Every structure is written in structure tokens, then in C-alpha cells.
Amino acid sequence: MECWQQKVFGWEGRVLKFPRTQLSDELRRPEAPYTGVYLLFGENEAGPILYVGEAENVSDRIRNHDSKKDWWGTAIIITSAANDLNKAHVKYLEARLIEVARDIGKIPLDNGRGSARSNLSEADIANMEAFLDHIFLVLPAVRIDCFLRDTRPVGAAAGSTALANVAPVFELRTVKHGIQATAKLENGEFVVQAGSLARRDWEGQGSENTSYGQLHAELVRTGVLVDNEHHRVFRENYAFKSPSAAAAVVNGRPSNGTVEWKVKGQAFTYKQWEAEQLKSDRALRSTT
């Protein structure tokens, strides 16, 4: 069972996450009948799927979905503590959540053509956009990343951390397949640069359904990796959680990125570079 309620600094929003198996108990919570938006996550025959909805009484609407949508397994309810959202507010939030989810493209939606934004005053739009900013801050904390963009603007500068200032450009070359990719460390993420080449298809036999195999397929589906005759090419900078995830997508097979990525123009592996950084950090701490 996973249930979450979040209050972030001065934000009076509430985020409740629960599995379908706990539906009856969770819809008894005081916030459940409030006006709000909700997310339903699950799978159908094509794979993961998401539905975004709104209601003046969220608990009644989700009970209705319980009988009409049999694919969902997890629900998230988003309301305000004082129940001061109105129908126009949540129609706007619903439309914007659909827009962002479709734009990022991590998971298909079961929303048809989507929902039109409601007509709000300029002040109300500003308030709802601020409300959305807090939603996007909280959702990754409850392991929902479909509204989190992993692509980075081409030419974006690295962060201002000390590590970003000293990190070199890393390179992965596979001569046999004509692959060449470059990457940089930015704010703790391993960002493969736009224009880098990758294997056209996933070649890791028997590993298509691993997280890395699925990630390769997802990046093809969402247009981060585009066809380039014999290869795929990164259309945008893309932030991976680790060098191995980046190496696997580039090579089209499970890979140890700590040894396959090397400092550009050198035989110095990422693993060796990282060890040198750790050694330097220890030496610096010992003198302070």
C-alpha cells in the first residue's frame, strides 16, 4: 500500500496516491470528495497508460471509473486543503496536465482528444500555473515521472556545481558499428549530447524487456532517437540517470558505461576519472 499526502512549504495542495486495492478505504478520506484533478495509471494490451480527469467530487468520479475502466491499478488525487478549487480551476488544471503529458510523451493517454482550457482571469491563470508547479515538484517524490522532462535544450550550459565545472566531455566509440556519442555531467545527470549516434535497433538478445531495452524503445517512440539510415541519432540532449543507462541505449545492448565512456581524446575511462575525483575530494577534506 502506498498513500501520500504532501504539504510543500506554503502550498495548500494535497496529493494522495493509492493502489486500486485500497480504493474503498482511501475514498473515505476527508479530501476525497473535494473538487480536484486525478490521475489513473495502469496497463492495457499496448502497455502503460494514463488517464487525467477532473471533478467537483473526485471520489464519486473515481468510483464511476472503477466500474467503467478496468485497466487502472493506481490513482492519484490532487486537491486543495481548503477545498477552494472550483470547476473552472480544475478544468484548466486537467487540460494543462494533458498538454504536458502529451508533450513529454513518456506514457500514452486514455483521454481521446483531451480537454480544452477553461476561461480564467489572468490572475487565476497565474495561480493555477503556480499550483501546477507544485504538483510537478511533488509527483517525482511519489515516483511519478511522466511529467518530468529528461530532454535538455541543445547548447544548454552545465550546472554551476563544482563537479560540473571540472567534468570533461566523455565519448563512447564503437568502431565496428560506426557509433560515436558524447556526453557531459550536468547537475548529477549523465547528458548525452544532441547529434550523438546510437545503434538503430536494440541488439541485446533476450534483454528487450529489461529497463534499458525498454528505455531504448521509449526514446525511439518519443522521437528523442530518430532514424538516420544505419543508425539512430539523438535529436536532443538527453539526461540519463547513469553512464551505464546511456551506454546501453547508445550500444543497443546492456553495457558497463563506467568503462565504455572515456574522457574525449584519451584512454581514461569514466570509472578512472571518477576515482580521481573521489581521491581529490578526500585529499581536499583532509586539509580543511
- With contact defined as beta carbons under 8 Å apart, do 161 and 187 qualify? yes
According to the model, what pLDDT value does residue 114 have?
A: 66
CA distance 166 to 159: 11
pLDDT reading at 44 higher than 60: yes
According to the model, what pLDDT value does residue 284 have?
A: 57
Q: Looking at residues 155-159, what average pLDDT do you find? A: 46
- Phi first, then psi, for residue 140 (nearest 5°) are -60, -30
Residues 6+ apart with CB under 8 A from 233: 195, 196, 197, 198, 225, 226
According to the model, what pLDDT value does residue 286 have?
A: 62
The chain-wide mean pLDDT, for the chain, equals: 85
- With contact defined as beta carbons under 8 Å apart, do 221 and 149 qualify? no
According to the model, what pLDDT value does residue 161 have?
A: 41
Residues 6+ apart with CB under 8 A from 225: 198, 216, 219, 232, 233, 234, 235, 249
Residues present in the chain in total: 288
CA angle centred on 16, ends 18 and 63, rounded to 5°: 60
The ranges assigned to domains in the chain are 13-142, 162-286
Residues 6+ apart with CB under 8 A from 183: 169, 170, 171, 172, 190, 191, 192, 193, 196, 243, 246, 261
SS3 assignment, position 120: coil
According to the model, what pLDDT value does residue 10 have?
A: 55
pLDDT reading at 62 higher than 60: yes
- With contact defined as beta carbons under 8 Å apart, do 233 and 178 qualify? no
CA distance 26 to 5: 12
- With contact defined as beta carbons under 8 Å apart, do 224 and 210 qualify? no
Q: At what angle do helices 87-104 and 122-138 cross, to 10 degrees?
A: 50
